[in-house]
């Protein structure tokens, strides 16, 4: 699936808009995670607006690709991308984490169209994705399964059991996208519980490994396309990202993993993002 420069420009601007949506919903909620959702905006934009086969008006379409979110705490970015794709009204984003809202702090399977799993405990999404991919193989279905995971949740043993199982069963219809932002709630991943050599571990479990810039939409799309041409094993895309991407006072700071901005911080964040958007527009003129 070729992506042209003109579409990349549109997607870059849309990713910036989604980042602004994230900030607006977080400040309204008064709680939530900031760093991860902001750094995943480019990935979710590429998924919902170019990579996934899906129909927002038919969220349970049988032949849709399945997108599993394992690190459920980053759900503000998924909600914003879904709203922009037409799954529900944009105004619903302002109900994030509120009583009775379909947009809870972790996605709930029966609350929202096209959400394939209820996520909360880290690591479980890997097993869900592997099970869905195996079922598709058994039923000879053509749709693909994608799973977005954090790097920190690879400290959970369940993830490696799922990785081992997928490699053994050669689930070439499965693609993992890892948010390699190097932070978790208590600090840097390599200080809390080192993950490196990360890529080599996946290779040892019979996975095809790609490493990309997780903010480069062209690379995201190319990697997902390459995964489709791998027939003997599943693919993992290690997406190197900057936590808090686009907001100067949040970038690369683990302290923003699990907190939301206050009103004044949100104003500053939105100013940064609008400036960045203007730069994106001027670069492509």
Q: What is the pLDDT of residues 130-158, one digit of tens each?
A: 999 999 999 999 999 999 999 999 999 99
How many CB atoms are located within 10 Å of the residue 99 CB? 6
CB 24 within 8 A of CB 93: yes
Helices (H) and strands (E) counted in the chain, each on its own, are: 10, 7
The alpha carbons of the chain give a radius of gyration, in whole angstroms, of 18
Burial tier of 229 (Cβ tally within 10 Å: 0-12, 13-18, 19+): exposed
**Positive or negative torsion for Cα 77, 145, 229, 236:** positive
Catalogue all structural domains in the chain, each as residue range(s) with its CATH number.
Answer: 5-283 (3.40.50.970)
- The one-character DSSP state at 150 is E
pLDDT in tens, 219-250: 999 999 999 999 999 999 999 999 999 999 99
- The one-character DSSP state at 236 is E
Residue of 184, 224, 219 lying closest to 208 (CA atoms) = 224
pLDDT at 1 over 70: no
Tokens of 274: 């609008």
pLDDT at 256 over 90: yes
DSSP string, 160-206: HHHHHHHHHTT-TTEEEEEEE--EETTEEHHHHS---SHHHHHHHTT
Around 150, how many Cα atoms within 13 Å sit in the side-chain half-sphere?
31
- The total number of residues shown for the chain amounts to 285
pLDDT at 285 over 60: no
**Residue percentage of the chain with pLDDT more than 90:** 92
């Amino acid at each position: 699936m070729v992506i042209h420069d003109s579409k990349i420009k549109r997607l870059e601007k849309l990713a910036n808009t989604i980042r602004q949506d994230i900030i607006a919903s977080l400040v309204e909620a008064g709680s939530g995670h900031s760093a991860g959702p902001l750094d995943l905006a480019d990935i979710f934009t590429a998924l919902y607006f170019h990579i996934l086969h899906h129909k927002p008006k038919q969220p349970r379409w049988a032949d849709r690709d399945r997108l599993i979110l394992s690190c459920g705490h980053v759900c503000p970015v998924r909600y914003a991308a879904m709203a922009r794709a037409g799954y529900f009204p944009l105004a619903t984003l302002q109900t994030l984490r509120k009583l009775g809202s379909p947009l809870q702090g972790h996605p709930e399977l029966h609350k929202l169209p096209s959400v394939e799993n209820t996520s909360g405990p880290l690591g479980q999404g890997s097993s869900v994705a592997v099970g869905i991919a195996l079922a598709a193989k058994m039923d000879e279905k053509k749709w693909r399964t994608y799973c977005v995971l954090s790097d920190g949740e690879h400290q959970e043993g369940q993830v490696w059991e799922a990785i081992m199982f997928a490699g053994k069963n050669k689930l070439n219809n499965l693609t993992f996208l890892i948010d390699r932002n190097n932070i978790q709630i208590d600090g840097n991943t390599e200080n809390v519980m080192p993950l490196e050599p990360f890529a080599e571990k996946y290779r040892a479990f019979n996975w095809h490994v790609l490493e990309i810039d997780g903010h480069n939409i062209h690379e995201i799309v190319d990697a997902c396309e390459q995964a489709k041409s791998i027939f003997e094993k599943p693919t993992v895309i290690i997406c190197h990202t900057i936590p808090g991407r686009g907001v100067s006072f949040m970038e690369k700071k683990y302290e923003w993993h699990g907190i939301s901005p206050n009103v004044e911080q949100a104003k500053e964040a939105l100013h940064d993002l609008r400036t960045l958007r203007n730069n994106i527009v001027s670069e492509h003129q």
